[in-house]
Every structure is written in structure tokens, then in C-alpha cells.
């Protein structure tokens, strides 16, 4: 049992202002495995005040990037040594299969942190330009106090996409972990103290939506970075627009995997295990629309049903498990609701369905729908579970049309024997990223969405820019 009675505010363990408690429930056993204080608006006030003081008067934004990188480098080294501890904890709190957790829930967040530590040495923080009337110094300065609001599905990854560039830039951060997954933030806070993070620079206040909304609108916050649903992102964007706060929004997706005529089906099925079903399908960039040429539709339908139907479903802490439980009962019921909806819309279940794999735990059988039209709700709405829809297309132009016929534009992939041609097709997909014969997120490259999938980019040098303000200092020749 993981029990905490303090909040991490301004780099100190502090008694909460309220008496509320968040219970962390195992998605596998349905038993309580942890308790932490539930943050309140008063706790947010204290956290923002600490961040404001540290930014306006403290050393952190006045250090050189190299000095900040030295402290964050120590944190990265601690993280690298203890990745397994983080992976085990996240698997316990949200049900991610441990094989995925080792890579996606702990190794990749550490790699993102290390990437920004290394970037600090090569990034252009200041430059001289020749102006019309004389020389101009152009500097990059930290944007200020950042509110980082992260979801439960990949809590450390989405947190590090915000925390690492913000801290390297010189910002101070108030982060709100999801109430489903607060435990990993406590572990990271301990590592931060060990690394020597200065007082006031980082706070973690786990809380629900209302407290998150209070943080977004807080007058002491200069920038909001949010990962979550498109509906919540629209509300946050509206508030930030009203207050002229800078914001980055990484939102939903309904990504398409296009199998071209020449795709090797066996190899593609192996790739789709990760691209489409990573993290139990609880991933915004999951390739959940599978587009197959009509000439090979039955072959691909059989192969997809066989692959998905053979996945090992069970205890997420078991290294043989490929699909674990969903994060909460409400998520289980939501996904099962979409399976019923797909049947009502006339799609055909070729594997999976409403039979639960286990009596205990929030499990959903991995499911594939065939005979799906792209106008169906199961093809247009983000289900966020292990449910795939197989959509036929007539020719390549039709495949591109279907892939782009979505309000979302986050990810995508093209599967083909001709990689160069696959790149040509990928260029025509209106998404922030589109892989060829794979789908991965690389710390060195920008990630984000077109259309309703968000605003701005994370990762790469592009992920640092939103945490900086450019200042021009002209002077006489």
C-alpha cells in the first residue's frame, strides 16, 4: 500500500489544505493500492505562489542553461538507474502491461529528459543580428510559471514532455497529475529532491477537473500545457484565449493505418500490435482505423482477427501479458458501450466483443470490427481501448481520402513494400506525424496534431520553443 499524507508544493513536503483523499485502485484486482491527499484550490494558490516567487525572485530562471542542465542531468541519471521502479508503479496504478511500461512508461520519459539536458548545450539561446539601424541582440527568455496538466494513460511521458523543456527553459512548474495516477509523481518528486532541485521550482498537486480548471484560470500562471481530451482542450483553449495565456494542447486522435496493396500482411500485423494496441489501446496516437484495399480485404480481416484474438490478456505485471485492464470501471463501461454501438451501426465483430476475459478487473476483450464505413461513430470517435475498425478502400486516392476524413489529425501510418512510395503517401496525410512501416515517437522530432488534435508541438527543439519568449534588443550602430 502506497500511502502519502503530504503534497509536494514548491519543493517541500507540505500538509494539504483540505481533508480529501484520493484512493488509487488497482485496475487488475479492484483493490485500493494507494492513498494521497486530494489537492484543493488553496493548495493550487500555495503552489502558484511558490512558483511565482521562484520565477520572479529565485535563482532558477537566472541560472545559465548549462547550470539548469547540470541539475536536470543528475535527475536524469537517477531516473535511468530506477526505471524499473517507475515502470512497476505505473503498471500497478493504471494497468499498463509491464513490457510496455518498461519502455513507454519509464524509459522513454527518461530519454526525453536526457534529450533536453543535452539540447541545452547546443540550442541558440542568444544571437546577434544585423538590423536596419544597427545591431540587434535576440534572446530567448523563459515564459514564466507553467501549469502542466497530464492524463492517466502515460502519466510520466506526458508530464516529461512538459516538465523537461519548461525547466531547461528556466520556467517554474505547477503540475496536476490525474487522480487515477498520482503515485508516480510522488516518486519523481523524491528523485527531484535528491537531484538538488531548488525550492519553489516544481509542485505536484493531484486533483480532479474542478481544481484543474482553477489552475488554468489562475492569474499567476503564464502558460498552460495540457494533454487530454479534445472537449477539455477546447475549454482550456477558450480560457487561455480570454486571459491571453500561452497554451499547448495535445488532444485526441483517431489515427489511420493504411495497408497498401503491396504490404506484407504478416509483418504488418506484428507492427500493428504496438502501433494500434499499445498500452491497451489507451493511447491518443493509436492506429485504430485500419484501412485495407478491397482486393485484399478478406485476407487482411482474417489476419487482423487472428492477431488480435491471440493476444494474451491478463495480469499487467506478468511479462507474458500483451493486453491488461483498462484504467477504471467507467473506462471499461465506455469501451463496451462503443462495442454495442458498433453492432447497432451494422459493423461485424470478427474477434472479441462483450464477453469479459476475466471476472475481476476492468478488462475488455480486444475487439476487431469489419465491414465498417468511415461515417460510423466507431470510426469517427476516440474509443480509447483495444477496439479496432477495419475499413475497405478502392484505390490509393480513396485510402488517402478516408484517412483524412476525420476531425482529428494526430498520427497515422502507411504499410508497404516500397518505403519511398510510403513516404509519398505519408506526406498526403493531414496529421502531425505519419510513420512508414512503423509508428514511434522520437524525442528528437516534434509531436502534436492538426485539426482537433491540438495546438502546438512537443518533443524536439520545437518542444522547447513554447516555453520561451523572444526578446529583441536593438542598439545604435
What is the model's pLDDT at position 477? Answer: 85
Residue 273 lies in a domain: yes
Contact in structure between 275 and 435 (CB atoms under 8 Å): yes
Q: Is 457 in the same domain as 352? A: no
Which of these, 386, 378, 388, lies nearest to 289 by C-alpha position? Answer: 388
Say yes or no: 245 and 277 in one domain.
no
Q: Which residues are catalytic?
A: 250, 284
Same domain as 313, residue 174: no
Are the C-beta atoms of residues 392 and 293 closer than 8 Å to each other?
Answer: yes
Closest CA to 432 of 418, 417, 413: 413
Range of the domain at 335: 255-442
77/224 same-domain check? yes
Whether residues 83 and 11 fall in one domain: yes
| Total tally of structural domains belonging to the chain | 2
Contact 132, 223 (CB under 8 A): no
Inside any domain, residue 9: yes
In a domain, 368, yes or no: yes
CA separation for the pair 168, 171 (Å, rounded): 8
Q: How many CB atoms lie within 10 A of CB 131?
A: 14
Let me know if 294 is exposed, middle or buried by CB neighbors in 10 A (0-12, 13-18, 19+). exposed
Residue 72's nearest CA partner among 126, 122, 110, 124 is: 110
Q: What angle do CA 185, 186, 187 make, to 5 degrees?
A: 90
384 domain-assigned: yes
State whether 246 and 328 are in the same domain.
Answer: no
Q: Are residues 378 and 462 in the same domain?
A: no
Instruction: Enter the DSSP assignment of 465.
Output: G
pLDDT of residue 67: 98
Identify whether residues 214 and 76 lie together within a single domain.
Answer: yes
| Domain contains 403 | yes
Pair 156, 227: CB distance under 8 Å: no
Q: By the 8 A CB rule, do 303 and 129 touch?
A: no
Q: Please give the pLDDT value at position 267.
A: 97
Residue 164: name the closest of 68, 83, 81 by CA. Answer: 68
Question: Mean pLDDT by 10-residue block, N- to C-terminus, for the chain (477 residues)?
Answer: 96 96 98 98 98 98 98 98 98 98 97 98 96 94 98 98 98 98 98 97 97 98 98 97 97 98 98 97 97 98 98 98 98 98 98 94 98 98 98 98 98 98 98 97 95 98 98 94
- Calpha distance 449→447 (Å, rounded): 7
Which CATH number fits the domain that encloses residue 40?
3.40.605.10
Whether residue 448 is contained in a domain is answered as no
Q: What SS3 state is found at 434?
A: coil
Both 130 and 25 in one domain: the answer is yes
User: Do 227 and 260 lie in a common domain?
Assistant: no
CB 135 within 8 A of CB 128: yes
Q: What is the CATH number of the domain that holds 373?
A: 3.40.309.10
Answer yes or no: do 334 and 395 share one domain.
yes
Instruction: Establish if 447 belongs to a structural domain.
Output: no
Alpha-carbon distance of 176 to 179, in angstroms, equals 9
β 408-409/387-393 pair status: unpaired
Whole-number pLDDT of residue 1: 87
C-alpha dist (Å) from residue 349 to 304, 343, 355, 385, 396: 12, 7, 12, 15, 26
Euclidean distance between CA atoms 332 and 28, whole angstroms: 12
Q: Do 229 and 307 fall into the same domain?
A: no
CA–CA distances in Å: residue 163 to residues 95, 117, 125, 411: 24, 12, 19, 23
DSSP string, 104-159: IIIIHHHHHHHHHHHHHHHS--EEEEE-SSSEEEEEEEE--EEEEE--SSSHHHHH
44 falls within a domain = yes
Amino acid at each position: 500500500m502506497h500511502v502519502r499524507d503530504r503534497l509536494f508544493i514548491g519543493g517541500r513536503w507540505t500538509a494539504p489544505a483540505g481533508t480529501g483523499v484520493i484512493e488509487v485502485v488497482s485496475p487488475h484486482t479492484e483493490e485500493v493500492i494507494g492513498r494521497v491527499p486530494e489537492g484543493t484550490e488553496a493548495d493550487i494558490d500555495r503552489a502558484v505562489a511558490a512558483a511565482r516567487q521562484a520565477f520572479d525572485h529565485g535563482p532558477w530562471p537566472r541560472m545559465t542553461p548549462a547550470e539548469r542542465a547540470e541539475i536536470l542531468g543528475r535527475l536524469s541519471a537517477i531516473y535511468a538507474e530506477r526505471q524499473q521502479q517507475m515502470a512497476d508503479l505505473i503498471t500497478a496504478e493504471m494497468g499498463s502491461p509491464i513490457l510496455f511500461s518498461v519502455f513507454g512508461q519509464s524509459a522513454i520519459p527518461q530519454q526525453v529528459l536526457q534529450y533536453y539536458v543535452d539540447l541545452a548545450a547546443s540550442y541558440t539561446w542568444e544571437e546577434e543580428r544585423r538590423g536596419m539601424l544597427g545591431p540587434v541582440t535576440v534572446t530567448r527568455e523563459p515564459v514564466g510559471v507553467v501549469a502542466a496538466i497530464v492524463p492517466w494513460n502515460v502519466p510520466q511521458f506526458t508530464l516529461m514532455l512538459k516538465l523537461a523543456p519548461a525547466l531547461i527553459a528556466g520556467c517554474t512548474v505547477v503540475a496536476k497529475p490525474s487522480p487515477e495516477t498520482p503515485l508516480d509523481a510522488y516518486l519523481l518528486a523524491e528523485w527531484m529532491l535528491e537531484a538538488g532541485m531548488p525550492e519553489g521550482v516544481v509542485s505536484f498537486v493531484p486533483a480532479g477537473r474542478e481544481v484543474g480548471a482553477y489552475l488554468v484560470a489562475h492569474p499567476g500562471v503564464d502558460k498552460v500545457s495540457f494533454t487530454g481530451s479534445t472537449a477539455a482542450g477546447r475549454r482550456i483553449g477558450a480560457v487561455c484565449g480570454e486571459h491571453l495565456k500561452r497554451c499547448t494542447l495535445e488532444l485526441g486522435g483517431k489515427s489511420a493505418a493504411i495497408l497498401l496493396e503491396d504490404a506484407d500482411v504478416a509483418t504488418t500485423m506484428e507492427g500493428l500490435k504496438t502501433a494500434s494496441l499499445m498500452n491497451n489501446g489507451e493511447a491518443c496516437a493509436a492506429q485504430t482505423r485500419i484501412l485495407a484495399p478491397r482486393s485484399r480485404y478478406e485476407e487482411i480481416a482474417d489476419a487482423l482477427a487472428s492477431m488480435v484474438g491471440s493476444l494474451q490478456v491478463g495480469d499487467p505485471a506478468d511479462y507474458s501479458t500483451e493486453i491488461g485492464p483498462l484504467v477504471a470501471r467507467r473506462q471499461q463501461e465506455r469501451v463496451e458501450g462503443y462495442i454495442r454501438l458498433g453492432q447497432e451501426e451494422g459493423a461485424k465483430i470478427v474477434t472479441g466483443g462483450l464477453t469479459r476475459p476475466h471476472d475481476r478487473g476492468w478488462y475488455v476483450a480486444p475487439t476487431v470490427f469489419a465491414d465498417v464505413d468511415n461515417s460510423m461513430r466507431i470510426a469517427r470517435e476516440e474509443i480509447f481501448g483495444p477496439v479496432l475498425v477495419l475499413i475497405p478502400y478502392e484505390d490509393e486516392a480513396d485510402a488517402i481520402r478516408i484517412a483524412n476524413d476525420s476531425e482529428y489529425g494526430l498520427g497515422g501510418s502507411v504499410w508497404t513494400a516500397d518505403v519511398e512510395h510510403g513516404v509519398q503517401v505519408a506526406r498526403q496525410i493531414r496529421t502531425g506525424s505519419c510513420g512508414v512501416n512503423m509508428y514511434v515517437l522520437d524525442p528528437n522530432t516534434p509531436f502534436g496534431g492538426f485539426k482537433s488534435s491540438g495546438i502546438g508541438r512537443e518533443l524536439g527543439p520545437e518542444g522547447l520553443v513554447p516555453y520561451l519568449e523572444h526578446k529583441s534588443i536593438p542598439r545604435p550602430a
